[in-house]
Amino acid sequence: MLLSKHHPVPRILLVEDSEDTRELSRITLESQACEVAAVSTAEAALGLLRAGERYDLVFTDVCLGGVSGLEAAHLIQEYQPGLPVLVTSGLQPAQVLPQLTASMRFLPKPYSMSELLDAIRDTLQPPLAA
């Protein structure tokens, strides 16, 4: 389970334009006691954040119609610095990794639901004190 003392019920903002992938990811995360807001566009995700919704993590596909997941990730981090973002894509890692900041992680597609849960868990972990 994803539960931890830092995030007893993690709130995850899921941004995925493929309905099947969005639903499978939502169901998987909810089965692990996560609260999930699932949207199909970056604009909808940004709207939720601007409306004052708070999340522990944003999980977004890179390739979305309109504003890309990477553009949204950067806008989100300007709006809420420190909010962890997990990005996923079928693009080659070399195309995505250079565009990520220190608080962003990458999950390559295709991924299993177990790999998704591991990536979410790792992204939610607080950084170790130096």
Residue 85 sits in a domain whose CATH number is 3.40.50.2300
| 4-39 tens-digit pLDDT | 555 578 999 999 999 999 999 999 999 998 999 999
Residue 69 lies in a domain: yes
Residue 53 lies in a domain: yes
Q: Which domain holds residue 71?
A: 11-124
Buried b (16+ CB within 10 A) or exposed e, 101-128: eeebbbbbeeeeeeebbebbbebbeeee
| Number of domains present in the structure of the chain | 1
Rounded CA gap, 85 and 73, in Å? 7
pTM, two decimal places: 0.90
